[in-house]
Amino acid sequence: MTNYKLTYFDFDGGRGEPIRIAFHHGGIEFEDERISFEEFMKMRESTRFNSVPTMEIDGNVVTQTNAMLRHVGRKVGLYPEDEMQAFYCDEPMDAVEDLLHRIVGTFGLEGDELKKAREELAAGWLTTFIVGLDELLTRGGGDYFADNRLTVADLKVFVQMRSLASGMLDHVPTDIVEQIAPALAEHRDRIGADPIVTQYYASRT
């Protein structure tokens, strides 16, 4: 039996969340190590790229969120076998990573500097990525991004769109996705109601 350990921040969301959902869906036992930001700062330089999540597979440490998500997705049937559909699955996942880099760039700012940066983010890159993801959803048929079924791409985009709606980002409208791409907001709600997702969150209570 393969032993898995996923290390990520102690909250429901972010880069680690789609991996947790996929593990749970597949019934794969894993050690869900949840760390505080303070703990991360102490261990940061000991990680390969000074970042989390990290995953241990039988004691071997691997990194890179989408690589981990694809690995687990293949094991649990949430990643396409068709080469082109796999490409369509990867594209929105990588787009979300690019967006996260833009969002993280505003962390640590305060006051008027934060307000200005977040408003520029909302009007600029955030809008660009929401529009782009909406186009990819349309290409996939409107319900899912790839393979005409739920894949890890849907989980990844869902987690990010859910975060935007949560109010976690000060000075970014919580209805920004509804304003720009109603179909993408509908996708967020539909994936959030999928048994794969609801059963995961039920297990967290």
Q: Are 177 and 123 within one domain?
A: yes
Averaged pLDDT score across all residues of the chain: 97
96-133 pLDDT per residue, tens: 999 999 999 999 999 999 999 999 999 999 999 999 99
Provide the whole-model pTM.
0.97
Distance CA 13, CA 54 (A): 15
Nearest to 68 by CA among 133, 78, 104: 78
What would the mean pLDDT of 49-74 be, rounded to a whole number?
97
Task: Label residues 141-178 b or e (16+ Cβ within 10 Å = b).
Answer: eeebbbbeebbbbbbbbbbbbbbbbeeebeebbeebbe
Distance CA 117, CA 108 (A): 11
What would the mean pLDDT of 84-106 be, rounded to a whole number?
97
**Residue 69 falls inside a structural domain:** yes
Between 133 and 204, the higher pLDDT residue: 133
The structural domain count of the chain equals 2
Residue positions counted in the chain: 205
Give the model's confidence band at 45: pLDDT under 50 very low, under 70 low, under 90 confident, else very high: very high
The answer to whether residues 19 and 68 touch, using CB atoms and an 8 Å cutoff, is: yes
What would the mean pLDDT of 128-151 be, rounded to a whole number?
98
Q: Are 94 and 176 within one domain?
A: yes
**Structural domain harbouring 98:** 83-194
User: What pLDDT score was predicted for residue 1?
Assistant: 84
**Residue 202 falls inside a structural domain:** no
What would the mean pLDDT of 62-70 be, rounded to a whole number?
98
Q: Are 88 and 179 within one domain?
A: yes
What would the mean pLDDT of 54-70 be, rounded to a whole number?
97
Q: Are 115 and 175 within one domain?
A: yes
Give the model's confidence band at 204: pLDDT under 50 very low, under 70 low, under 90 confident, else very high: confident
What would the mean pLDDT of 166-195 be, rounded to a whole number?
97
Give the model's confidence band at 66: pLDDT under 50 very low, under 70 low, under 90 confident, else very high: very high
User: What pLDDT score was predicted for residue 105?
Assistant: 95
User: What pLDDT score was predicted for residue 180?
Assistant: 98
Q: Residue 46: is its pLDDT beyond 90?
A: yes
Q: Which of 77, 110, 127 is the last residue of a domain?
A: 77
User: What pLDDT score was predicted for residue 205?
Assistant: 78
